[in-house]
Amino acid sequence: MATITVPLTPELTAFIDSQLKLGHAKSKAELVRRALQKMKEDEFIKTILLAKYEMASGKGLSGDLDELVKGF
């Protein structure tokens, strides 16, 4: 597992400390990992919603996948 060092503003440090006091994580590292995982999940959902919108707008692909690939 990689370790990184990130400078934080006093406000972010205070926020992290408050989240730990509220019991939202057991450590600063766990809190940051959970925040990054949430960000990753949000991006995944955003991608799905965009694809859904594109399909509804007629911009999606449909048909046989092997045939579609031949066009690229």
Residue type, 50: L
Residue 50 belongs to a domain: yes
**CB-CB contact of 16 with 29 (8 Å):** no
The closest of 22, 19, 46, 21 to 34, measured between CA atoms, is 19
For residue 3, what pLDDT is reported?
A: 94
Name the strand (E) or helix (H) holding 59: none
Determine if the pTM surpasses 0.75. no
For residue 55, what pLDDT is reported?
A: 85
> Number of structural domains, the chain?
1
Residue 34 belongs to a domain: yes
Residue 64 belongs to a domain: yes
Structure-model confidence comparison of residues 62 and 23, the more confident one: 23
User: Whole domain around residue 46: which residue ranges?
Assistant: 15-70
- 5-51 pLDDT tens trace: 999 999 999 999 999 999 999 999 999 999 999 999 999 999 999 98
**CB-CB contact of 29 with 37 (8 Å):** no
Residues 5, 31, 19, 38, CA torsion sign: positive
pLDDT band at 72 (very low <50, low <70, confident <90, very high): low
Residue 19 belongs to a domain: yes
